[in-house]
Amino acid sequence: MSTILITGSSRGLGLELVRQFSAQAGKQGGLVIATARSCSPALKEAVSRSNGLVVFVALDLADEKSVTNSAYEVRGFLQGRSLDILINCAGVYSVTSGKTAEMPDLDYQLSVNVVGAHNVLRQYIPLMQNSDVKKVINISSGYGSLALAQSYVYAPCPAYKISKAALNALTVQYALSYKDEGFTMVAVNPGWLQSDMGGENADLTVAQGAEAVMDVVMSLKSEDNGCFKSIRVPGWDGSNGRAVYDGKDLLW
């Protein structure tokens, strides 16, 4: 089992990824490093039940110094090992009332969802250099697809959409830059999940989304570098008029 770091682990998809990866680590060995601004009660429980397979490190994407300090702490937990898999799950979301010109927080959305992810990558890539795995997964959204923008016009979150499109571009630039060093870097759409962000009417449970994201992570190959991946969930191929989660790459 690999050493895995997950940002945004205090709730939602990030928390469930910690739970599911730690269950695998219990069978195969490994270490899951859960990061978030603070350790929520649910995350504390996951850490305490892990028998040392999950550790918590404070990391605030909006604070570059916090990101830098977290990397020093993680290096200590690794004890000479390499970090194998990095999952950038942390992010912020907001709704805008009115036209796009009225969105009040584009700078904040970009600072967390894009610049924050960039700061995480540049601090943690050095910890991955000696790994044989070197997988980086940026959790994006279908809302970030320019080709599919018309399909999502109903969603009143322009700043979020713009930030995810920028995160996709960031992913591609990193993928091109580090391809020669053996990294595989992708953006992943985790689907519409029944989380605090997605709401109770969303398509998939958080557990379903996390399992599907894990499948993407574990099946990544070098030829996937720089791609925009979708999850695959049985029964969600579009044949029943529902959303499509068929595992095919998404359009940028």
Would you state the pLDDT for residue 2?
Answer: 87
Which secondary-structure segment (H or E) carries 34?
strand 31-36
Residue 201 covered by a domain: yes
Neighbours of 69 (CB within 10 A): 16
Could you tell me the two tokens for 9?
Answer: 């682990």
119: closest CA among 70, 179, 58, 184?
70
Would you state the pLDDT for residue 24?
Answer: 83
Q: Give the integer Cα–Cα distance in Å for 212 and 200.
A: 19
Q: Give the integer Cα–Cα distance in Å for 56 and 130.
A: 23
Would you state the pLDDT for residue 168?
Answer: 98
CATH code of 123's domain: 3.40.50.720
Would you state the pLDDT for residue 112?
Answer: 96
Residue 251 covered by a domain: no
Q: What is the pLDDT along the chain (252 residues), one digit of tens a residue?
A: 689 999 999 999 999 999 999 998 767 778 999 999 999 999 999 999 999 999 999 999 999 999 999 999 999 999 999 999 999 999 999 999 999 999 999 999 999 999 999 999 999 999 999 999 999 999 999 999 999 999 999 999 999 999 999 999 999 999 999 999 999 999 999 988 988 777 777 789 999 999 999 999 999 999 999 999 999 999 888 777 778 899 999 999
> Within the chain, how many helices (H) and strands (E) appear?
7, 9
Residue 114 covered by a domain: yes
Measured CA distances, 56 to 6, 39, 43, 144, 170 (Å): 10, 7, 8, 30, 26
Residue 93 covered by a domain: yes
Residue 252 covered by a domain: no
Residue environment code for 114-150, b if the CB has 16+ CB neighbours within 10 A, otherwise e:
bbbbbbbbebbbebbeebebbbbbbbbbbbbbeeeee
Residue 18 covered by a domain: yes
Q: Domain tally for the chain?
A: 1
Q: Give the integer Cα–Cα distance in Å for 100 and 52.
A: 47
Instruction: Provide the domain limits for residue 162.
Output: 3-246
Could you tell me the two tokens for 248?
Answer: 């095919």
